[in-house]
């Protein structure tokens, strides 16, 4: 484990996070990337400080506004901030929004976008998100990009890949990534067809782990509870992780026989945007580092809990400074639950003392409106 940026050598990405969770595992013949992912990048515009939902026929003023890359960029940013060498394949518009998102991800987060492309005469998809009362309302607009020409060596060789499965549709890159040795972690969206048929998730056969929420897991399996659904899913995938909302998460590893049931951390949620992506990023980080299942689940829940205390998707993804600050803070609380401290004791060897800055932390909210740093 290292507390400084690593220099992986010529032709390999540079880790910009304060901690490299895989430092002790790296070898010269490793894949150049820790995680590969692909998807749609949106420009997210987030309005904050709304007292209530906008009312029809009226004008609402927000006390704050931020902008950042969204969509698949939420996941990519969360992975990069946790110290994983991240490679993203996505289409970017050739407008100012596309330029901003590209630069924010490549220059700001250190995400490699070699397989990505700029599409001429295509404007970037945009999502406007309004956060209030711990909830969000979103409006999106975008057009389908032209068909993509296969990039050379794509997907690239990576330790892991993250996929969002689509019912009834197969994505050939998932099988290709698995064939190159990538461990594939997958989530899934709501099945608008209403079929809820696991046979329709054909790419699940190439996945190591599947991370649906409780409602999705129960519908796909027909189980009467999320924990039973997790066990049923292990007939189709080695590791099943079912998120339980305010109750936490439950996981089963068929290969080792491990189960883990970790309660959620009680926080004041300001904006849930991107929390699911951050959870997956935390679980992938722990999995690649070889942690026990319970530690992976606890870490994923912690990173998600930290993210909902900030506004925005990629804006709110925590890094190691936030994790270190939280860990030092909870240890300083009088009459802290000993069981809760033991649950996160694995953090003691992960977060260097010098990263523990005052809590709570606040990231600067970026905007595309300023030409110079504020």
Provide the residue range defining the domain that includes 93.
26-355
Is residue 82 included in any domain, yes or no? Answer: yes
In a domain, 11, yes or no: no
pLDDT for 70: 92
| Domain membership flag for residue 328 | yes
Distance in angstroms (rounded) separating the CA atoms of residues 224 and 89: 38
pLDDT, position 17: 58
- Sheet with 33-38: strands ordered across: 86-89, 33-38, 158-165, 183-188, 209-210, 239-243, 249-253, 259-262
In this prediction the pTM is 0.89
Helix (H, G, I), strand (E, B) or coil at 330: helix
252, part of any domain:
yes
Q: Indicate whether 8 belongs to any domain.
A: no
Q: Cα 300–304–309 angle (5° rounding)?
A: 155
Long-range contacts of the stretch 95-99 (C-beta < 8 A, 24+):
95/123, 95/124, 96/368, 97/43, 97/123, 97/124, 97/126, 97/368, 98/123, 98/124
For residue 217, count other CB atoms closer than 10 A to its CB.
27
| 228, part of any domain | yes
How far does CA 281 lie from the centroid of its chain?
Answer: 4
Which residues have C-beta within 8 Å of that of residue 335, sequence separation ≥ 6? none
Per-residue pLDDT of the chain (374 residues; tens, 9 = 90+): 333 333 333 344 444 557 899 999 999 999 999 999 999 999 998 887 788 888 889 998 888 888 889 999 999 999 999 999 999 999 999 999 999 999 999 998 999 999 999 999 999 999 998 877 767 788 999 988 777 655 556 799 999 999 999 998 999 999 999 999 999 999 998 898 899 999 999 999 999 999 999 999 999 999 999 999 999 999 999 999 999 988 999 999 999 999 999 998 887 766 666 788 999 999 999 999 999 999 999 999 999 999 877 766 677 899 998 898 888 888 888 877 888 889 999 998 888 766 655 544 545 455 565 555 44
* Backbone angles phi and psi of 130, in degrees to 5: -115, 120
CATH of residue 267's domain is 3.40.1190.20
What pLDDT shows up at residue 364? 43
Asked whether residue 60 is domain-assigned, the answer is yes
Residues 318, 315: Cα–Cα separation, whole Å: 9
Please give the structure tokens belonging to residue 352.
């260097």
5 assigned to some structural domain: no
Cα distances (Å, whole numbers) of residue 190 to 95, 193, 214, 301, 366: 31, 9, 12, 21, 31
**Number of independent structural domains in the chain:** 1
């Amino acid at each position: 484990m290292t507390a400084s940026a690593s220099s992986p050598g010529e032709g390999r990405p540079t880790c910009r996070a304060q901690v490299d969770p895989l430092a002790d595992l790296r070898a010269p013949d490793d894949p150049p990337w820790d995680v590969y992912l692909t998807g749609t990048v949106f420009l997210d515009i987030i309005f904050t400080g709304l007292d209530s939902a906008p009312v029809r026929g009226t004008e609402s003023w927000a006390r704050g506004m931020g902008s950042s890359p969204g969509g698949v960029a939420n996941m990519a940013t969360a992975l990069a901030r946790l110290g994983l060498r991240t490679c993203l394949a996505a289409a970017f518009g050739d407008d100012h929004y596309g330029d901003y998102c590209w630069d924010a991800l490549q220059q700001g987060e250190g995400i490699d976008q070699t397989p990505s492309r700029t599409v001429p005469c295509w404007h970037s998809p945009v999502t406007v998100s309004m956060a209030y009362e711990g909830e969000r309302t979103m409006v999106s607009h975008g057009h389908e990009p032209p068909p993509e020409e296969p990039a050379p060596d794509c997907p690239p060789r990576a330790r892991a890949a993250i996929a969002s499965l689509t019912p009834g549709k197969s994505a050939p890159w998932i099988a290709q990534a698995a064939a190159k040795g990538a461990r594939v972690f997958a989530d899934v969206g709501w099945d608008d067809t209403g079929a809820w048929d696991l046979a329709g998730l054909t790419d699940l056969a190439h996945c190591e782990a599947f991370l649906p929420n409780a409602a999705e897991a129960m519908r796909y399996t027909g189980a009467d509870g999320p924990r039973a659904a997790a066990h049923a899913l292990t007939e189709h995938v080695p590791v099943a992780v079912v998120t339980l909302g305010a109750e936490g998460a439950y996981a089963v590893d068929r290969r080792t026989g491990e189960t883990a049931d970790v309660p959620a951390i009680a926080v004041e949620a300001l904006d849930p945007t991107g929390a699911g992506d951050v959870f997956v990023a935390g679980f992938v980080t722990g999995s690649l580092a070889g942690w026990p299942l319970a530690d992976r689940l606890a870490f994923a829940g912690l990173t998600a809990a930290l993210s909902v205390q900030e506004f925005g998707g990629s804006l709110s993804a925590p890094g190691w400074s936030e994790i270190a600050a939280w860990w030092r803070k909870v240890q300083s609380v009088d009459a802290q639950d000993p069981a809760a401290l033991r649950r996160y004791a694995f953090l003691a060897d992960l977060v260097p003392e010098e990263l523990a800055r005052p809590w709570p932390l606040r990231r600067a909210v970026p905007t595309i409106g300023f030409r110079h740093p504020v």
